[in-house]
Amino acid sequence: MKTADNGVDVEALREIRQALTDMPPAALFTWRATCAWLGGVHSRSTVETFHGACAEQAHRTPYSVEADHPGVFAATDNAATPVEIVLSALASCLTAGVAAIAQHRGVQLRSVTARVEGDMNLHGILGIDADVRNGFEAIRVGFDIDADATREEIAAIVAQSQKRSAVFDIITNPGNVKVALE
């Protein structure tokens, strides 16, 4: 029997899951980002520390995500738009889930590509029509996966990834966001 290796340490993940089951406060995480305005609608968000496992944690190094608007909106197009960044987060969250679940099920992945599309009617954000929402009216994610498994097994891995995806939940279910001036 061949052993799948997708680069996911499922044994360590099982131990982490057990530890967080035994000690529920360790499972309470707070994720953070700090966004600096760079002029126009261009900004840079930096991610560095987070809280979890009952302690302050830090990434190996700070990571940044830039955002801007494109030329069709008379902007400088120095980066992806915030909504494209959301689509990227959704695709990456589902892809990470596919890799972890495939490993858990002993399925060797060869390649995974997720294509995401989101439809938006700008009459929402431009305040032209109060009946049009600001965000996406529909999002479609299509996976193209090459793996040592049947199409049915691969579809089941994708379905399980969706079921456990943080970003899928954030987008599909209502969230509680408070915005304030410090």
The residues in 131-170 that bind a copy of itself, with binding defined as CB under 8 A, are 133-145, 151, 154-155, 158-159, 162, 164-170
Give SS3 for 155.
helix
54 contacts a copy of itself (rule: CB under 8 A): no
Quickly tell me which residue has 């979890």 as its tokens.
Answer: 52
Q: Which two tokens stand for residue 137?
A: 């009216």
SS3 153: helix
Contact with a copy of itself (CB under 8 A) among 4, 93, 107, 149: 93
CA distance readout (Å), 11 to 5, 17, 103, 116, 177: 12, 10, 10, 31, 35
Residue 8 or 105: the one with the smaller Cβ distance to a copy of itself is 8
Closest approach, Cβ 108 to a copy of itself, in A, equals 12
**Secondary structure class of 174 (helix, strand, coil):** coil
Task: Find the binding residues for a copy of itself in span 96-115 (CB under 8 A).
Answer: 96, 98-100, 109, 111-115
Inter-CA distances, 182 with 121, 145, 179, Å: 32, 46, 10
Residue 1: CB minimum distance to a copy of itself, A: 22
Per rule CB under 8 A, is residue 56 in the interface with a copy of itself? no
Residues 12-51, one symbol each (x = binds a copy of itself by CB under 8 A, - = not), give xx--xx--xx--x--xxxxxxxxxxx-xxxxx-x-x--x-
Residue found under tokens 């199409």 = 151
Q: Which is nearer to a copy of itself, 1 or 177 (CB)?
A: 177
